[in-house]
Amino acid sequence: MLHRLSLAISLLLIAPRVLSAQAQGLTGRWAIAIGTAETPEYRTLEVTVAGDGTIKGTIGSPSGGVPIQTGRVNGSQFTLEATLGTGLRLSYEGAVANDTIRGTWRYDKFEGRFLGVRGTTPPRPDTSPLVRGVAAIDATMRRATIDSLAAEITRRYVDTSAVARVVGAIRARAQAGAYDSLVTAASLARGITDDLRKFDKHFALIPVRSGGPPGPQAGARDNYALKRVERLDGNIGYLKLDVFSTDSAGAAPVLRSALRFLARADALILDLRENRGGGGDLSHLLFSYLAPQTGVVADIFTRTPAGFDSSVVRAAERIEVDASFRDRPVYVLTSARTASAAEWLAYDLQAVHRATIVGETTAGASHPIRFIRVNDAFDVSMPAGRARSRFTKTDFEQVGVQPDVKTPADLALKTAYLEALTTMLARTSEPRARSELERAIAAQKTNG
């Protein structure tokens, strides 16, 4: 009897795990839609599910396919994770049902929903019910929103020492009736955001849009926020970039083309006065064209419900050397509106002595963010991480980037342009170049 029992246990222990039909159905190629109906992005996923439930394959990303590092399926639920060339993690967590997968994607400071179908033709993005900014908000919804928001801040806000103060301040304002007259989603979002930003300028309560949290900023129709590329008199390059597009796959070739156009300029003026940030990938790419530093440039510590995860940010591995400005003067224009990824670019270029910052002290918003669902009516932009420069061993949160040449934002271009012209005149002996520089300087001084 004992022998038969031991044999039965042994057979049970060595018997192969039998996956459910749903789990086995995850194997294959998937076309995935993320973003919103207005600004969709498409990705691919190719996976193979092993008998023990582990997942191998590749995740499509803006920089191409990357291997899945960890992946597992349990019933219909699955998780996948990969590390991109930037050192940041991209993950999918969701469920499979027949020929459809759906769930949540996360990358750097962003997260949102995805919808995938088997094959190569992507679906339209997941379009959950739209709650417009004019939607009515009653007292019950207002209380529920504040309760859910407080819970997410407690779980996710990077500054754990300030959580009690932030949550306490919002609850105190609510108890005092400060939000009682805010009866639309848009007005309540503005009111709470104003109070949250007294603690961290990355906070924002956002009415839910179709398809989830905000999609890529500055897409193709906006020329990826490249507003102006010009050779100024005196052979000074000028590049105005108002957002670092989160569609890095589309924006990077456009930025590279702009830098190729300016490749023969003797100096560069980079105008970030209206740039409030965006995606880090484009900022890191531009840094690599302007500074010789390679490898890891920053560490990121992201708060999760289980603690803190760490990752690194790397400079771009490949640039077109002929279009780089690593050996020429660079001037970065800033204003009090310059924020987030734009600040990081100015900050790091200043730290490695590769740029002169001209203008105003920047906003002081250094924390990476995540977009998190609060309830059916609102998302929140949550400062969920802390970045630390490898060059300074710190950041500029609440302090901002201090300009080397302090001047009002509306005078920053003229100030930097004159500085660049004067610098190049002192370095140039060629008669024709000197004549052009002298005329340009005279014109600037004449124009006041």
The string of pLDDT tens digits covering residues 301-310 is: 888 777 788 8
Residue pointed to by tokens 């990121």:
300
Mean of the per-residue pLDDT values for the chain?
84
pLDDT of residue 101: 87
125 lies in some domain: no
Of residues 268 and 115, the one with the higher pLDDT is 268
Residues 82 and 150 in one domain: no
Please check whether residues 267 and 392 belong to one and the same domain. Answer: yes
- Whether residues 292 and 391 share a domain: the answer is yes
Which pLDDT belongs to residue 295?
84
pLDDT digits (tens, 9 = 90+) for 337-396: 999 899 999 999 999 999 999 999 999 988 888 888 898 889 898 888 888 999 999 999
Question: Quick check: is 212 in a domain?
Answer: no
Residue 150 and residue 250 in one domain? no
Residue 75 resides in a domain: yes
Q: What percent of the chain has pLDDT over 90?
A: 41
Q: Is 364 within a domain?
A: yes
Rounded Cα gap, residues 66 and 62, in angstroms: 10
**Residues in a beta bridge with 230:** 238
pTM recorded for the entire structure = 0.66
| Domain of residue 234, residue span | 220-446
Torsion sign (Cα): 343, 344, 345, 348: positive
Do residues 383 and 240 both lie within one domain?
Answer: yes
Judge whether 168 lies within some domain.
Answer: yes
Q: Is residue 6 part of a domain?
A: no
**Strands across the sheet containing 385-389:** 307-314, 296-304, 385-389
The pLDDT-based confidence of 4 (bands split at 50, 70, 90) is very low
Same domain, 244 and 289: yes
Report residue 293 as tokens.
Answer: 């530093």
Give percent of the chain above pLDDT 70. 85
Residues 243 and 392 both lie in one domain: yes
Is 8 part of any domain? no
- What is the domain-level CATH number for residue 351? 3.90.226.10
The reply to whether 132 falls in a domain is: no
Helix (H, G, I), strand (E, B) or coil at 65: strand
Asked whether residue 410 falls in the same domain as residue 265, the answer is yes
Whether 73 and 171 map to the same domain: the answer is no
Pair 359, 342: CB distance under 8 Å: no
Determine the angle formed by the axes of helices 248-261 and 280-290, rounding to 10 degrees: 30
Same domain (yes/no): 271, 394: yes
Q: Which positions ≥6 away from 118 have C-beta within 8 Å? A: 28, 29, 30, 31, 99, 100
d(CA 415, CA 102): 52
What is the reported pLDDT for 45?
A: 87
Same domain, 77 and 22: yes
Structural domain count of the chain: 3
Same domain, 203 and 317: no
CATH number of the domain bearing residue 45: 2.40.128.120
